[in-house]
Structure 1
Amino acid sequence: MGEALLILTLTPVQSFIAEARRTSDLYVGSQILVQLVKAAAEQIGPQRLVYPAPLNGSLPDDLPNVLVARVDGARAEQTALEACQALQAKWKELADAARKALETYAPSDRKWNDIWDRQVESLWQVFWVTVPMDSLEYRQAYLTGTAALAAVKRSRVFPQVEEPGPKDSLSGRREVLHRQGESEKDYWSTVAANVGPSRLRPDGRERLDAIGAIKRFCPLANRSFPSTSTVASADFLERVRQKAREQLGSYRQIIEWVLGSFLYSVRPHDQQWPYDGDLLLLETLTEHALRDSYGGLERPQDLERARQALRELYRAAGERPSLYYAVLVLDGDSMGAHIRELLQRADPEAEHRQFSRQLTQFANEVPQVMDEVFRRATWPGHSASDGSGIRGRDFLVYNGGDDVLTFAPLSVALPMAKAMAEKFSKTVQGCSASGGVALVHHRYPLSGALAAAREAESIAKAVKGKGAVAVTLMRRSGQGPAQGIA
């Protein structure tokens, strides 16, 4: 037997990523998917992959949720099964690490374990097809395989998993983790008291199921991802480093004095401002807001001094930070049609591989594009900040295949979308990309912000000729969204 074409994918994807209340939930969810697909790809063998294509022998940092590979026909099914096992093993590794971390804060019991095992074991479904290539050209094998995979996914049978009791804060669909004879609020209050508000809201106000707990406590969650407040104020902060460094230092000293031990760092390497961007917003400097976000403050009597110092920082900078930020999604236009056109050429497999390499090259260049756009907006005339500041790539959630999901400050959202779309069209021959941008208040629900960005992307995709960017403004006043095409 000769070779076979293997196509593999998994589900759920969009719903898994979208179950997020914090930007870090979104980032970790995306990276979990990347790790699962990467485990399968490495088991298959990167050199066997047609899509995504490795560059210089290495897989890209982010991977799409579909793999296409040419494998040994005699072991095609075994290769697929081993890839599935590798994917599930990686999921178990991440879940076990999160479980171990969580149990150090509040030991589990039989009830807790039953909920955890049920939810972790029933989440992922992996679909694959293999097509023998003994008598088929690549074009026929690929079209046959994609059609068969679509049919398998349409006819899939979902396991019926009962989820009784109160539901979790992220999905609202699964039973919240708790122990026998203890309320959900009491259990999560205990956990929150041990981990602090940077990881979990205090007093049991966030109650997670196993999937949400994995997002919060697996090793991937150890990276501090910018909050919506940090994104909204990021360009302001970088300009303040240049124009009002002394006033920034004075304000930092006062806010450290007011919050005391309740203050936590999110960027320890940042020597000038290691804290969340919400502390650069005057609306945060109320006793109620600080207790809600930080769990308390040691010297509330000096809060007015902090407000005055922040106003002085605004005056020295000549501006205030925005209360709004952007969610940006970018997606290649008519990718399916383009692949079908490539398959009609003289050497369809070589064309598909070349197309895949171009997508990988684009993905590899996106972080540099984001850095450059952000630098131009915040450090004009400088090659970079002092090295401790924020970079454009710090807002990047996911960047695999022809898809990009990122946050951005308002001042760079459209330039960033334009720069990435231009990079895509230059790198991926004969293709364009369209984007959706949602401009939202930093306290607007994250799920709504993501939905607005996806809706804007759909509007851009409907433009004749595409290569468009649609913008939606979600007004906090309660008025309907304002939309436009850029």
Structure 2
Amino acid sequence: MRYLLTLSIGPVQDFIAAARRTADLQAGSQLLQQLAMHLAQHIQGKGGSLIFPASAEQPGPNKVVATIETDDPAAFAQQLREVAVQWLWQQWQSARERMPNVPLDEHLAEEQIKQFLEFYAAWVPLNGDYAQARHQAERLLAGRKALRDFRQVPCRPGRPKSPLDPSRDTVLKLDAGLRIPEQAQQEPLFLKRTEYLDAVSMLKRLKGEKGVPSTSYMAAQAILPIADQQAVTELKRIADNAPGAVDIGDLMFPTRVQEEIEEGEPRLSRYLKEHQADIDRLRRRILDSLSPRLSECPSYYAILAADGDRMGQLISAQRDMDSHRRLSAALAEVAEEMKKVVNQHHGYTVYAGGDDLLAFLPVNQVLSCACELAAAFRKAMEPFRGGSSEAGTLSIGVAIVHRMEMLQQSLEWAREAEREAKRWRNAIAIAMHTRGGVPLTAVTAFKDDPYLDGWRQWLKAFRAGLTRGFPYELQYLAREVENASLSIDSLRAEAMRIFDRKTGREGSAAVKQFRPAYQQRIDTIGNTDELRAFAEQLIVARFLSEYPNGVEVRS
């Protein structure tokens, strides 16, 4: 009998986000994508026909929709679960071979690996009406996912918890005083002295690719592409030859170099100490080559998280399998296109599958990249939109964070920004988390400003000389009159007075040319909340405008 099968693999966001290094993050994403591909290939090998993803050869999301021929769909789904668990166990065994001398609790490791996956499946007979069958299967899958399996996590009394997943104990056999064995602090794990990793986190650490950029690298990418390229090449050569997990971004920050010299693995420590003078000289050359010259490398980078809007509505509009399969193929193609866009903006894609994207970017490429991503996604979904103009758009959340911020926290901030953008839909939400500052989030709808020209305008104004304190006075005004009986005309007049006072009689013509645009924007404000939102957008724009080479939006 023919059935429509839908299955979901997890955990997803929590698993990917459980990372201390960017390589851990990439490895978690890659593991889930490879597992989904493996299951899709197994379904095809059993005579099934894939619908989502359209091909088993492309990295895809953590979900599979397919038709299968079987008399026992429950047994078929159970077999798929066993295939998934066995595949993950094989990945662990291969990783274990790379660290044969690291003392581990093998039994605990096996328990953790084999009990880790969340596997959910639902199926319905396929009797001709594909749209109805898909709707019913999705409802059943949602119900199954709501009935979570609460297995007791295996533990060992007195064993330290994993810092990346505190529900699990470390699988390391520790030395006296709860010290991590020396073998685990060397290649290929390079564990810090307090990284008591569990088996799943250790698998991610071993699967992580060496070429994954660090957060320091992403911060430095704001200047490296426009700096003295000979100096950049020479500094990169020093990083590439280092016997440890450092990249050129790490070498751009003296404190990071000193940290590795004092606390790093002995071979890396000796190497950096021998090359410290050259590192300092090349770093200085890079900073001096910029216009204007910088005293130090910028410390902030951006995490971009994007998600398609009303995709369930878009999928429901596909009334047959062929249409759904074409949509799946289009999603796979646009995922590859979005990777190219991120790469063109000197960024790094952590995950791109289905309608989801997670990427790192230099701060001065965020707006341009976001515009191109939103446009590419809208164009790819256009043939499937039907009568709905709101389905198949992209909501983008961006968190601007310090390179030293905990990666898990930074990822959560990006997800919070994404959720804020999803409240608007077809929008970008930029959340700025400066150290010691109050977090700010500014939201712009792409339907109102598809090229983010409003952002570009205020970036130019600040670079032309608009004072740093100006947006803070607007913010103060909004806060002070929040509960006052001030008319909207008076509020607008006071906002204009602040602009005129800040530019003044001696203000440059370059700044005063923005007064008409400012007046036009103020005339749209209807209450103090809208004024506060505009002020916070200006604060973020002021921060972005200070980056070298500007933050231009490609139109």
**TM-score (ref. length: structure 2):** 0.71
Counterpart of 2:442 in structure 1: which amino acid? G
Q: 1:4 deviation in Å?
A: 0.9
> Which structure 2 residues correspond to residues 217-236 of structure 1 after superposition, within 5 A?
217=206, 220-236=207-223
Q: Does the aligned pair in 2 maintain the 1:17–1:30 contact within 8 Å?
A: yes
Q: 1:415 deviation in Å?
A: 1.3
SS at match of 1:484: strand
The answer to whether the aligner puts 1:65 opposite 2:37 as a matched pair is no
The answer to whether the aligner puts 1:470 opposite 2:469 as a matched pair is no
Query: In structure 1, what is the Cα distance between the partners aligned to 2:404 and 2:272?
Result: 26
Q: 1:147 deviation in Å?
A: 1.0
2:106 corresponding residue in structure 1: 113
> Which structure 2 residues correspond to residues 387-466 of structure 1 after superposition, within 5 A?
392=347, 395-429=348-382, 430=385, 431-463=392-424, 466=425
Q: 1:281 deviation in Å?
A: 2.4
The answer to whether the aligner puts 1:88 opposite 2:81 as a matched pair is no
1:141 corresponding residue in structure 2: 133
Which is greater in Rg?
2
Q: 1:201 deviation in Å?
A: 3.8
Structure 1 unmatched ranges of 5 or more: 267-273, 375-391
Q: Does the aligned pair in 1 maintain the 2:235–2:248 contact within 8 Å?
A: no
Q: Does the aligned pair in 1 maintain the 2:184–2:191 contact within 8 Å?
A: no
Structure 2 unmatched ranges of 5 or more: 386-391, 445-555
Report how many aligned residue pairs link the two structures.
427
Counterpart of 1:228 in structure 2: which amino acid? T
Query: In structure 2, what is the Cα distance between the partners aligned to 1:33 and 1:276?
Result: 29
SS at match of 1:105: coil
Counterpart of 1:311 in structure 2: which amino acid? R
- Of all paired residues, the percent bearing the same amino acid is 28
Counterpart of 1:200 in structure 2: which amino acid? F
Counterpart of 1:213 in structure 2: which amino acid? M
Query: In structure 2, what is the Cα distance between the partners aligned to 1:227 and 1:288?
Result: 15
1:212 corresponding residue in structure 2: 201
1:13 corresponding residue in structure 2: 12
> Which structure 2 residues correspond to residues 292-307 of structure 1 after superposition, within 5 A?
292-293=263-264, 295=266, 296-297=269-270, 303=276, 306-307=279-280
Q: Does the aligned pair in 1 maintain the 2:27–2:209 contact within 8 Å?
A: no
> Per-residue displacement from partner, 1:384-423 (whole Å, max 9, x unpaired)?
xxxxxxxx4xx11110000000101111122112211110
Change (3 A) 1:362 1:283: same
1:333 corresponding residue in structure 2: 309
> Per-residue displacement from partner, 1:173-203 (whole Å, max 9, x unpaired)?
211123277554232x3311x317xx4244x
Query: In structure 1, what is the Cα distance between the partners aligned to 2:41 and 2:199?
Result: 27
Query: In structure 2, what is the Cα distance between the partners aligned to 1:236 and 1:353?
Result: 42
> Which structure 2 residues correspond to residues 170-209 of structure 1 after superposition, within 5 A?
170-179=164-173, 182-187=176-181, 189-192=182-185, 194-195=186-187, 199-202=189-192, 204-209=193-198
Q: 1:38 deviation in Å?
A: 1.0
Change (3 A) 1:250 1:330: closer
1:359 corresponding residue in structure 2: 331
Counterpart of 1:428 in structure 2: which amino acid? M
Q: Does the aligned pair in 1 maintain the 2:261–2:272 contact within 8 Å?
A: no
Change (3 A) 1:277 1:293: farther
> Which structure 2 residues correspond to residues 24-173 of structure 1 after superposition, within 5 A?
24-45=23-44, 48-54=49-55, 59-60=57-58, 62-74=59-71, 76-102=73-99, 104-108=100-104, 112-134=105-127, 137-163=129-155, 164=157, 165-173=159-167
Change (3 A) 1:418 1:265: farther
> Per-residue displacement from partner, 1:25-63 (whole Å, max 9, x unpaired)?
110001111111111100011871111112xxx632x21
More relative contact order, 1 or 2 (CA 8 Å, 6+ apart): 1
SS at match of 1:355: helix
Q: 1:333 deviation in Å?
A: 0.4
Q: 1:101 deviation in Å?
A: 1.8
SS at match of 1:126: strand
